[in-house]
Chains A and B, each alone.
Chain A
């Protein structure tokens, strides 16, 4: 039996909405400032085992991104417990988060450092990343000269090649052209099969979800409404839309 790599136990995430930024600043020093609480994730619990492929389905604002951010470690729950084991690679907004004045190659090393990957490991992966991103001589040009497609390609190439244990794919693959999208999906498939990677996939395309995932989770207004077989999940989700 495989171990749990992601555990959500009664997780709730609330956003505090203020009238203005100044009201938010004042709220640091006094409790008298009024605000509205918006619940983005409402008492959600699930467990994901190593090697599972899970699609997260839901309309805009259902809380998908918030859950992915909590797993990635860039957002924090207000209540409940979250446990994540292993190197998380999040393909969220790939085109951002580069140092503009640095070359593509320098950014590969910087990203590696920030993610805490040993230098010799990055050195080994460098060639693979450069090749996959198809940037050729552009790799030694500053990122600020890149097109958005080139940025996304480099971002994807870095995150997919650093050998993640948990791979989070948000609706990001649409930034490149069709051919690159295909190549990305193929690579995602390879990584999953070869390394027993856990995949979390967020998409509106239920066809792609079916192709990659065995399990489906449906979210509606922050609540988990279904967790089970992907075919059943897709059926329910499609019905809820129509």
Chain B
């Protein structure tokens, strides 16, 4: 518990640096390219376009979901996944990327995944705005349910921040961990229902699996805002399970942080 409070304290004390470094991280990623900042948007925009093209003209596979074209159903989950995918990897590699903050100056290492997370969140927010605009172009106006994306974005931010702190320490210790996560990321994608509807699962074991899959919960949450029009308090079981997973992840993270904090600068 003391360690947990310490981490929070470090974040409050270094909040100014966290925001500064979040923007630094953004600028760093996109500077040097002629199109610069636009790459942050172009990359996912191309992906959206390709999916739209494939599913509208090519495969003609997806049927409408709750009265929404399959394409809209898809991007409502795909764009949040884009952020999660970034955080699964960039969060994990944040300590390695910002090695000099660990080994050269006195800086709290727990805040490094946090500012990387903020940097990714900024791009994610812009993309969510684009998604809202696309929905409007299709004739679906934002309503009160749309406001809930703030709630789910907050949950995603917290979840992936804890993940970032945990995974970045393990990645700093061994490249085996990094390779393992990179190897299973496609599996995570297909096992979280980004491109297919997990609500259609009837097998009880499958149901339980998706109930405790935090990524599924978040993806469905974003779809609740855009497609299903369900308020977050209408699914207390799912929310409870998500919080349970988050709690366990946080406890594990704090314990490992306590164990490794002093050793990380020696091994990086």
A interface list, Cβ under 8 A from B: 15-16, 21-22, 24-25, 28, 69, 72-76, 78, 88, 90, 92-93, 96-99, 101-102, 110, 113-116
Contacts and interface: CB of A to CB of B under 8 A. Distances in A.
Contacts of A102: 24, 27-28
**Listed residue (A78, A101, A102) with the most chain B CB atoms within 10 angstroms of its CB:** A101
A114 B259 CA distance: 25
Contacts of B267: 24
Q: For the side of the interface on B, what is the size category?
A: 20 to 34
Nearest to A24: B173
Contact of B105 (A21, A24, A74, A99): A74
A148 B107 CA distance: 25
A72 B175 CA distance: 28
- B interface SS class: helix
Nearest to A15: B266
**Listed residue (B102, B174, B265) with the most chain A CB atoms within 10 angstroms of its CB:** B174
Contacts of B260: 28
Contact of A74 (B28, B32, B103): B103
B64 interface: no
B56 interface: no
Nearest to B260: A28
Nearest to A69: B265
B31 A25 contact: no
B262 interface: yes
20 contacts: A15-B266, A16-B263, A21-B176, A22-B176, A24-B267, A25-B174, A28-B170, A28-B173, A28-B260, A74-B103, A74-B105, A76-B261, A90-B105, A101-B27, A102-B27, A102-B28, A110-B24, A113-B17, A114-B105, A114-B107
A21 B263 CA distance: 13
B101 interface: yes
A102 B27 CA distance: 9
A124 B263 CA distance: 37
A72 B106 contact: yes
A113 B16 contact: yes
Interface in B11-68: 16-17, 20-21, 24, 27-28, 31-32
Contacts of A114: 17, 21, 101, 105, 107
**Listed residue (A22, A25, A93) with the most chain B CB atoms within 10 angstroms of its CB:** A25
Given A28-B260, A114-B107, A101 B173 contact: no
B100 to A, nearest CB: 4
Contact of B32 (A16, A97, A101, A115): A101
B17 A25 contact: no
Contacts of B27: 101-102
Question: What are the 6 A-B residue pairs with the smallest beta carbon separation, nearest first?
Answer: A73-B106, A25-B174, A97-B100, A76-B262, A97-B104, A21-B174
Contact of B176 (A15, A25, A69): A25
B259 A28 contact: yes
B11 to A, nearest CB: 14
B177 interface: yes
A21 B175 contact: yes
Contacts of A73: 106
B256 interface: yes
A138 B146 CA distance: 49
A93 B170 CA distance: 26
A98 B260 CA distance: 26
Nearest to B107: A114
A119 to B, nearest CB: 10
A75 B175 contact: no
A96 B175 CA distance: 23
Contacts of B256: 28
A21 B265 CA distance: 15
